[in-house]
Structure 1
Amino acid sequence: MSLSEDSRKALKTINALILDKRFSKADELLQPLVDLAIEEALLMKADLLLQQSPQIGLKYLFELCKGNIAGANFKAAFILYFHPEVGVDFRPYLFSAFKQGDPEAIIAAANLYLQQGVVAKASQILTKNRHISEVNQLTESLGLISDNEEALLDFNDIRRADLSKLTYESVAPEINLFYVDDFLTDFECLWLKNCALCELKRSMVVDGESGSNIVSNVRTGSVAQLAPTANDWVLLNIEMKIAAYFNIPIENGELSNVLKYEVGEEYKPHYDFFHPNDKGSEQALKDGGQRFKTVLIYLNDVEQGGDTHFPRLSKSVRAKQKRLVVFNNTDNSYGPLPLSLHQGMPVIKGEKWLYSKWLRVKPTSYLKCLQQLHVR
């Protein structure tokens, strides 16, 4: 049953109340919709309870799963995957959502299998659901076609990412510059690019005087800022992998950025830290303190150009798809490291897609987004 416009508006108001932690008022407005068994209202009731008491909220959510409420199994799987400390297996809930034809569950399951190198199972999942346009686009772009007609019985062989198998190559120990190949999968690279396509805007830089973002010839190209949602398991999983690999709380990161550079576009030599002598740094530092580490991941192989160059070290890292590059912007006391000066070299042929994540000393405003997703 489609949601009426009045109910849609009411749920939007209630959601704003939940985000504002006005739980009593939210519950008062929500209950009549819950009494009508409107599925969206039932899921929002779970969100409300999870904000107040995770234990009570999960119990309520599990009851919705038993009642086969649309979206409940995926929400349960999502929360349990990112909270292994709860001790409840996420896989049966993900499989139930998959059997219900939930597109987000189909994409999440395929991504998790690809993450652990089980291409055949991922291909089977995607091929069986090519009637869903988003799934079909991913299937065709990656060439993941399967002729296996056997029914899938469970997802019990899905595992979380094993980051211990990754190896790194040191480039410049002076700033702890190194790279890790195959940090992402082809699927994840494509996913990030697809998510960014409709959000791309002219890239900007932080003005040293005001601390505000401004357009500058120092940085050309386009950028899209991405925030995980309750439906985007893939993006949040990427961010969790980065946090786990560097043993840094996920909430200490800024929002993810995906950058696109076309021929001739570049990011001239610059620093990522906020310089203490700049007037605008005081404002910029309010949200989590200093940017002490930069993480970059190349999302495609650049035909020519586009390397990341460190002029004061005379070092470069080649743009290679799925390669993660990381370096420190500050010393151990969070003072600026002049040797971290770097640039994105001009693209000479083709185009360059890049994921970037700045890590800060303390939690950033991104924490609020994570709390809304019940991840923190």
Structure 2
Amino acid sequence: MTTIRLLAADGGTTEVELNGSGAYARPAAPLQSRVAYAAAHVVPKAHAENTPGRPADIDWDATLSFRRNVYSWGLGVADAMDTAQRNMGLDAAATRELIARSAEVAREEGGSVVVGVNTDHVDEERIPLAQIIDAYTEQLHFTEEQGAGPVLMASRHLARAAESAEDYRRVYDAVLSKATTPVVLHWLGTAFDPQLEGYFGASDWQTASRTLLEIIGTNPGKVAGVKMSLLNAESEVTVRSQLPEGVRMFTGDDFNYVGLIGGGTVGQGEGRSDALLGAFAAITPVASAAIQALDAGDPARYLEILGPTEELSRQVFAAPTFFYKTGVAFLAWLNGHQPAFQMVGGLHSARSLPHLSRIVELANASLAFEDPELARERWHGMLALNGVGA
């Protein structure tokens, strides 16, 4: 029996049986029952100065190869968003290059790509609403020029400047009026970014959601969907039930996605969500296989495949949640999608070895290792490097 070593918080080690891979098959035809995007990360050059505060120096071959792999499993790519370390190591110049390169790869692969549109290229911390509108519009037009779908991300500038819900309506109405293609609106909760407290004009989701729905309602044809990342299933289900026809709900809830995506198909109430998830970058083959099961009319198999991954995702996204990118990159390394466990901004140091060990344990349990022997070899090497021996 082949085993894999686990590390406890007290420094003790245990051995558990190494499971095989899920042996999932890539889809023979486009996925049908859900629209699903994996929010992808970036891979740095291992030898470069990707230290805190330095511009991102990206390994483009590995970064774009990861996106090609996502497309091969039938999922779309959500790029230049928080999973790509937007505002946490990915600078403005690298963001623009990532969007252009990713859009080109999507065309080559026949895949669907959406990318983040924000105001974060503006260096000043505080700017007026008019300048926020201009900043959003600049990134929006650049994204449209590249041929990618825009995701209008929550802006820290707007969170600082807005004094009322009306200010949010003013900014979003102005930006949406300039969009030439329907956009996805992204509502990112404070677990992911504490600087977004009170977004859409209120700290409670019930009040804030009314502003969001008003923005959608007053801009018919301009909004393709909403990505909710509040880690609160009730809020998503409530907003989802009130969306106008033709506006999709893309779950960004990395804690509760199994029931939200499955919806009534798996006995989880009326309706269902599509997906735009950082978690799906970590478990792409598993996510694809689960949606293939829904396509085949087999909700029980969907639950069997995807259900165990939710505990893994909760560990990856554990508080402080904004460090979840470390777990996504860690799993990409274990699965052979990048040569080193490195991240721009030095963010690979943001989680402890016991935290990563729990990710290893849960990935093994949920059959999320694409090559279990490689994952074991890399993890054991990392433990040895840190003085954890047999």
| TM-score, reference length from structure 1 | 0.29
Q: Which has the larger helix fraction? A: 2
Flag the structure with more relative contact order, 1 or 2, with Cα contacts below 8 A and sequence separation at least 6.
2
- Considering only CA atoms, is the larger Rg found in Structure 1 or Structure 2? 1
Q: TM-score, normalised by structure 2?
A: 0.28
